[in-house]
C-alpha cells in the first residue's frame, strides 16, 4: 500500500480526445510493461480497455505491488473508475484505502457461491 503517512491524489482531466492522469501533479505511469492488462490509453466512465489500464496504473502505484494490482484492477474498474462521469475527477489514497477496507473479494464462481448458499439453507 502507498505510504500511509502521505495522502496522494490521483487526478484525471479530459482535453477533447486526450485523457491526462496525474498523481500528486506528476504524470501517472501507464505501466505498459504489464501485458496482463489491456494495452490502451487511459479512459474512464465505462468498462473497457482504457478504464482497465487506468485502474491497474492507479492500483500499481497505490499498492506498490503489481501482483496485488493485477488481482484487484477489474473490481476497482467496475466499481470506481467506470463511475467517473465527469471530464475532471480526483481520488485520494485515503478514499482508495476506505474502498478496500469495505469490500470483500469472493474467490469462487457464481455457481459455487449459489451451491454453498443452497447447502446452508438445507
pLDDT greater at residue 109 or residue 5: 109
Residues with Cβ within 8 Å of residue 57, at least 6 apart in sequence: 21, 28, 29, 30, 31, 42
| Angle between helix 49-63 and 93-101 (nearest 10) | 100
pLDDT tens for 23-77 read 999 999 999 999 888 889 999 999 999 999 999 999 999 999 999 999 999 999 9
pLDDT of residue 5: 67
DSSP reduced 3-state for 119: helix
pLDDT above 70 for 93: yes
Q: Please give the average per-residue pLDDT across 90-108, as a whole number.
A: 81
Cα(44)–Cα(19) distance, rounded to whole angstroms?
A: 9
Quote the pLDDT of residue 1.
56
Q: What are phi and psi of 55, to 5 degrees?
A: -60, -45
Q: Which three cell numbers stand for residue 77?
A: 474498474
Amino acid 76: pLDDT: 95
Amino acid at each position: 500500500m502507498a505510504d500511509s503517512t502521505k495522502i496522494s491524489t490521483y487526478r484525471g482531466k479530459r482535453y477533447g480526445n486526450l485523457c491526462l492522469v496525474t498523481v500528486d501533479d506528476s504524470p501517472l505511469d501507464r505501466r505498459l510493461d504489464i501485458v496482463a492488462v489491456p494495452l490502451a490509453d487511459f479512459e474512464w466512465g465505462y468498462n473497457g480497455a482504457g478504464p482497465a489500464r487506468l485502474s491497474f496504473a492507479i492500483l500499481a502505484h497505490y499498492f506498490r505491488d503489481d501482483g496485488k494490482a493485477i488481482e484487484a484492477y477489474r473490481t476497482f474498474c467496475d466499481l470506481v473508475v467506470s463511475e467517473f462521469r465527469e471530464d475532471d475527477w480526483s481520488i485520494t489514497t485515503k478514499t482508495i484505502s476506505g474502498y478496500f477496507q469495505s469490500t470483500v473479494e469472493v474467490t469462487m464462481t457464481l455457481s459455487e457461491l449459489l451451491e454453498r448458499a443452497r447447502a446452508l439453507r438445507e
